[in-house]
Amino acid sequence: MHPKNANRVEAIKSGIYKDLRSVDDATQFLSQVLTTHLRNEIMTVETEIIKEQESLQRMEDIKIIFESPDVFIAAAALITKSFYIGKGDRNAFFDVILSSDPKTIPDLFRKLMLVTKQEFYGHKIYNDKVCNTMNVCK
């Protein structure tokens, strides 16, 4: 566990280093190693769950835009929500269009035109500091 001698000397001074001479020492050492690895594994899973939850929340925000009856309410939703190009919101927007029936989305043409603009009546649509909508236009 201590690849360098200096690390081992430091561990001995701090009391972390154990010389396994009894079953109790081995049990304590293994429980500490297991606890450390289990904590790291749980934190990794927790981070993945948080990212997935944020992704689902973004999808809910985007669905609000599609369920709005016209472009003006959709624009209000885009302006009040955190809509980014760089975080994948724009791609999620198009993924929802591709995965659903376009005939069921009201005022789809004007909503598509809305995401090609940076502003709507003086209000910023995207929350990115540097926003390039040319890729959307293409």
Q: What percent of the chain has pLDDT over 90?
A: 10
Number of CB atoms found within 10 A of residue 126's CB: 23
pLDDT-based confidence at 46, cuts 50/70/90? very high
Q: Is the pLDDT of residue 135 over 70?
A: no
Report the mean per-residue pLDDT for the chain: 79
Encoding tokens for residue 40?
Answer: 């790291």
Query: What's the gap between Cα 114 and its chain centre?
Result: 25
Domain ranges of the chain: 19-137
Q: What percent of the chain has pLDDT over 70?
A: 82
pLDDT, tens digit (0-9, with 9 covering 90-100), for 82-97: 776 666 677 777 787 8
Mean pLDDT in residue range 20-43? 89
18 in Cβ contact with 28 (< 8 Å): yes
Mean pLDDT in residue range 113-122? 80
pLDDT-based confidence at 137, cuts 50/70/90? low
Select from 122, 108, 64, 120 the least CA-distant residue to 89.
64
Encoding tokens for residue 120?
Answer: 């709507």
Encoding tokens for residue 84?
Answer: 């980014």
Q: Where are the alpha helices (DSSP H) in the chain?
A: 5-14, 23-67, 71-80, 89-99, 108-115, 134-137
Mean pLDDT in residue range 60-89? 77
Distance CA 115, CA 34 (A): 50
Its pTM stands at: 0.50
- Output the pLDDT for position 44: 93
Mean pLDDT in residue range 32-60? 86
